[in-house]
Structures are given as structure tokens and as C-alpha cells.
Amino acid sequence: MENIRLMFDGGGTTNDAARTPPELGTGYPEPRGTMPAYGIFARHVKNLELANVTVGFETDDYRPAASFVDIQGLEIDNFKPQVAAGMSAAVFADNVSGIVIRNSPALQK
């Protein structure tokens, strides 16, 4: 995904951030219900590349901008998330490997 700007209504809660969406098996991977991230939720992906991606919201959202689960190879360059006070820009599960982050100060620890 490259050169994308996504704006959302916002309003997500910390309880929403703790959700684990159900697996859809062989169904189409269209999100259903409230996701644990307001912008990007990626799960079961190989070689995901995000470049020049901006995400934001109209009303404070208390979920991270991005959540990554079961990713093999994740490259992020110039990710610009809007983040509510006290919230993390992104969540990386333990099963995310091969992470490369560039030009994304909100993701630097």
C-alpha cells in the first residue's frame, strides 16, 4: 500500500482496542464489526509494505492507528498516524517478524 490517506469517524474505545476479530476461515477477509485498530488491521500476511500512509480521525479514537498480527516481513516507511493522547500509534503482536521501520517517528521507541 503506497501513497494513501485514510480518515475515519473515530470514537473507538480502549475496550474496542482489546478485541480479537474472529477468523473467517475461507470467507472473504472483509472486516466485520469493530476492529482493534482504527486505521489498519493486518493479520496473516507475508511481505506487507506500507509507504507514505497517513491515517487520522474526526473524533478521538482510543485504539491504535495500526495493529499487526501474524505478519512475516513488514516494511513501513513514512507512516503518519494521528494518535489520541496516551495511546500507542501501533501494536505489533509477538508473531510479527522481519520488521523494518523508516521515517516514521510515531513508531520509533
Cell 472486516 sits at which residue?
Answer: 31
pTM here is 0.90
Task: Give the pLDDT of residue 28.
Answer: 63
Task: Give the pLDDT of residue 27.
Answer: 65
CA 6, 11, 12, 13 torsion: positive or negative? Answer: positive
How many Å separate Cα 1 from the centre of its chain? 13
> What would the pLDDT profile of 5-53 be if each residue is shown by its tens digit?
999 999 999 999 999 988 877 666 666 788 999 999 999 999 999 999 9
Task: Give the pLDDT of residue 92.
Answer: 97
DSSP 32-66: -S--SSSSEEEEEEEEEEEEEEEEEEEE---S-SE
Q: Does domain 2-18+36-107 match CATH 3.40.50.1820?
A: no
Helix, coil or strand: residue 11 = coil
> What would the pLDDT profile of 46-73 be if each residue is shown by its tens digit?
999 999 999 999 999 999 999 999 999 9
> What would the pLDDT profile of 70-101 be if each residue is shown by its tens digit?
999 999 999 999 999 999 999 999 999 999 99
